């Protein structure tokens, strides 16, 4: 029986694997997943990529799952910001249950914000699980924000301010 790369690996995953192992296969954007897989199949034994025959175990969310997680995160953020907490959740235990559920979805910005607000409001130390790619992106954004802040300069001299129209 001819083995095939499992359909749960999309083209982007396969191209990333090829780049990671520096396999000499053309991964041009115009090539289809089928053609790339056909070129990769003979090299699976050479590079020890037998896990490609089985289902991809990475967490991939569907749109409805992602929307559900974002809704829960917004609800948790609202709970942390509200004065009357009992309107959103019955008690704190249910709130902390939801926060613990959200921890593994740290790649979603709403989740990170909800966990940050929980830590700030209730003095907890929850840390969301964030992928290395997102961490790199966050660090890059922080650096750009730091570099693009306007600088304050003071000029000496006399200034006339007129408040009349």
Q: Do 47 and 92 fall within a single domain?
A: no
> What pLDDT, in 10s, does the model give residues 49-104?
888 888 776 667 788 999 999 999 999 999 999 887 778 888 889 999 999 999 99
| 150 pLDDT higher than 80 | no
How many structural domains does the chain have?
Answer: 2
The answer to whether residues 86 and 123 belong to one domain is yes
> What letters, b where the CB count within 10 A reaches 16 and e where it falls short, cover 123-151?
eeebebebeeeeeeeeeeeeeeeeeeeee
Query: What was the pLDDT predicted at 151?
Result: 67
**pLDDT value, residue 118:** 93
Q: What is the pLDDT of residue 117?
A: 94
Q: Is 107 part of a structural domain of the chain?
A: yes
Residue 109 and residue 90 share a domain: yes
DSSP assignment letter at 8: T
* Domain range enclosing 25: 11-53
**In the structure, what pLDDT confidence band is assigned to residue 1 with cuts at 50, 70 and 90?**
low
Inside any domain, residue 26? yes
Q: What are the backbone angles phi and psi of residue 22, rounded to the nearest 5°?
A: 50, 50
Mean pLDDT of 117-124: 92
121 lies in the same domain as 84 = yes
pLDDT tens digits for range 3-25: 888 888 888 888 888 888 888 88
- Nearest-angstrom CA–CA distance, 130 and 108: 9
For residue 34, being part of any structural domain is answered with yes
Tokens of 110: 């709403």
Give the residue-averaged pLDDT of 130-136. 80
The H or E element that residue 14 is part of is helix 11-20
31 and 75 share one domain: no
Residue 76: what pLDDT? 93
Q: Do 45 and 82 reside in the same domain of the chain?
A: no
Q: Does some domain include residue 3?
A: no
Q: Would you say residue 152 lies in a domain?
A: no
DSSP readout, 67-136? Answer: HHHHHHHHHHHHHHH-S-GGGT-SSHHHHHHHHHHHGGGTTSHHHHHHHHHHHHHH---------HHHHH
Q: Is residue 155 part of a domain?
A: no
Q: Are residues 117 and 74 in the same domain?
A: yes
């Amino acid at each position: 029986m001819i083995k095939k790369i499992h359909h749960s690996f999309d083209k982007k995953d396969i191209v990333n694997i090829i780049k990671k192992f520096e396999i000499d296969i053309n991964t041009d954007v115009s090539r289809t997943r089928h053609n790339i897989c056909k070129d990769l199949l003979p090299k699976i034994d050479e590079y020890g990529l037998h896990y490609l025959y089985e289902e991809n175990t990475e967490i991939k969310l569907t749109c409805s799952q992602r929307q559900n997680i974002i809704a829960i995160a917004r609800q948790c953020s609202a709970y942390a910001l509200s004065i009357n907490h009992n309107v959103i959740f019955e008690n704190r235990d249910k709130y902390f249950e939801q926060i613990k559920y959200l921890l593994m979805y740290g790649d979603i910005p709403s989740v990170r914000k909800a966990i940050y607000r929980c830590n700030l409001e209730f003095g907890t130390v929850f840390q969301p699980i964030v992928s290395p790619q997102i961490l790199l992106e966050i660090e890059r954004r922080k650096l750009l924000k730091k570099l693009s802040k306007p600088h304050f300069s003071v000029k000496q001299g006399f200034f006339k301010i007129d408040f009349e129209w």
